[in-house]
């Protein structure tokens, strides 16, 4: 049985058009999640440890102000295109589109004002909440009026996030959620004691601006082989890695499949990621630097969280051999990711 509650969370600054921001609290007997109508942001996600104690396992802020200022996309829905597009450029039907460059020479996570920085229209469901917005033709340089629905539903230990979209013109689209997790509880210093596995035989090597080179490389015999669980801290040391910020290539197909599992031995918390998406970006919070004050005034140092962002492959719009990222008029974009929380 899931209960859904809505409450006021704050108002947008006048220069952002004012506007009421609401918070939606979804609660089952084992999971409690709070989501904002601003950026569809997951602000809180509480799950039980093996002793039945709840802890909040996602990074974020206590107030709306934290989310309206610059931050590393904590908990937000990312669009139109998650991850990086090389030089912020792509060509469709002979026309070149130029996007805003906000990540060195590249465009990242939708541009200057992506889906994470706008108000969505909420609709309460019996076991969740659905958010809608129309991204107008030309927004952030992307073609087509894009109607987008993001639906969060909670059933027992499982949080489902469904993304649907329809467009008036051919446009690239790749939606994800950018929650930062620490199964020890947000505010814990690192995630080195987490054990992680990712069901991927290949990954995408990147250049020094984090754009995929185009090669689809086998994980076998490399530090990217996470098919069996590894303890993160020891694994990074063993392979002299500064952290992960890479796309892992998943089974192609529209069916639900298990793609990643994380286990935190001290608390017994586990998290499984299931998805219909073709890729998952594993990111270990390499750019966190302790400068942001999060919930409860804690700071978030490097490697104090991890992200498992289910999405299309980065820069797919410029790489024809990558999975299809273009949505045509008359088609529907429809992907779901399920997060399953348990204890071991």
Residue 245 marked ligand-binding? yes
178 is catalytic: yes
| 32 is annotated as contributing to ligand binding | no
- Long-range (24+ apart) CB contacts under 8 A made by 284-291 are 284/191, 284/232, 284/236, 284/243, 284/244, 284/245, 285/180, 285/191, 285/243, 286/242, 286/243, 286/244, 286/245, 287/72, 288/72
What pLDDT does 217 receive? 98
The model scores a pTM over 0.75: yes
142 is in an annotated binding site: no
What is the mean pLDDT of each successive set of 10 residues along the chain, which is 344 residues long? Answer: 97 91 98 98 98 98 96 98 98 96 96 97 98 98 98 98 98 98 98 98 97 98 98 98 98 92 98 98 97 96 98 98 98 98 96
Q: What angle do CA 155, 77, 122 make, to 5 degrees?
A: 65
Where exactly are the structural domains of the chain? 3-343
Whole-angstrom distance, CA of residue 40 vs CA of residue 21: 10
Q: In CATH, which of 3.30.300.30, 3.30.70.980, 3.40.50.2300, 2.70.98.10 is domain 3-343? A: 2.70.98.10
* Cα angle: 173, vertex 72, 36; to 5 degrees: 75
Per-residue pLDDT tens for 266-305? 999 999 999 999 999 999 999 999 999 999 999 999 999 9
The pLDDT, as a whole number, for residue 253 is: 82
Cis peptide before 106 (omega within 30 of 0): no
From the candidates 22, 140, 195, 309, which is the catalytic residue? 309
The 10 Å CB-count burial string (b at 16+, else e) for 157-186 is: bbbbbbbbbbbebebbbbbbbbbbbbbbbb
Catalytic residue among 109, 178, 246, 303: 178
- 309 is annotated as an active-site residue: yes
Are the C-beta atoms of residues 192 and 303 closer than 8 Å to each other? Answer: yes
Q: What is the pLDDT of residues 140-173, one digit of tens each?
A: 999 999 999 999 999 999 999 999 999 999 999 9
pLDDT at 277: 98
Query: Does 84 belong to an annotated binding site?
Result: yes
Specify the pLDDT at position 17. 86
């Amino acid at each position: 049985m899931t209960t859904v509650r809505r409450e006021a969370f704050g108002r947008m600054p006048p220069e952002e058009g004012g506007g009421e921001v609401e918070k939606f609290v979804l609660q089952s007997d084992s999971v409690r999640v709070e989501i904002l109508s601003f950026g569809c942001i997951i602000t809180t996600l509480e799950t039980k440890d093996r002793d039945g104690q709840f802890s909040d396992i996602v990074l974020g802020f206590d107030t709306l102000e934290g989310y309206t200022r610059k931050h590393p996309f904590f908990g937000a829905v990312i669009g139109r295109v998650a991850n990086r597009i090389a030089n912020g450029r792509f060509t469709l039907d002979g026309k070149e589109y130029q996007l805003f460059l906000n990540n060195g020479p590249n465009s990242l996570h939708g541009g200057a004002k992506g889906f994470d920085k706008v108000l969505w229209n909420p609709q309460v469901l019996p076991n969740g909440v659905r958010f809608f917005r129309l991204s107008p033709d030309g927004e952030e340089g992307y073609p087509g009026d894009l109607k987008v629905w993001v639906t969060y539903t909670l059933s027992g230990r499982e949080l489902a996030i469904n993304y649907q979209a329809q467009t008036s013109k051919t446009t690239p689209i790749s939606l994800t959620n950018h929650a930062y997790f620490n199964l020890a509880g947000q505010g814990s210093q690192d995630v080195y004691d987490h054990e992680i596995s990712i069901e991927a035989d290949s990954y995408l090597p990147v250049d020094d601006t984090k754009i995929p080179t185009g090669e689809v490389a086998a994980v076998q015999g490399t530090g990217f082989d996470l098919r069996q669980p590894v303890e993160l801290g020891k694994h990074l040391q063993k392979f002299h890695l500064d952290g992960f910020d890479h796309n892992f290539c998943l089974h192609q197909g529209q069916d639900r499949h298990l793609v990643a599992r994380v286990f935190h031995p001290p608390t017994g918390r586990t998290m499984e990621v299931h998805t219909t998406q073709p890729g998952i970006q594993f990111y270990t919070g390499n750019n966190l630097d302790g400068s942001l004050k999060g919930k409860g005034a804690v700071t978030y140092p490097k490697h104090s969280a991890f992200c498992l962002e289910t999405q299309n492959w980065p820069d797919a719009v410029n790489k024809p051999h990558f999975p299809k990222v273009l949505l045509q008029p008359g088609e529907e974009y429809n992907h779901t990711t399920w997060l399953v929380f348990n204890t071991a």
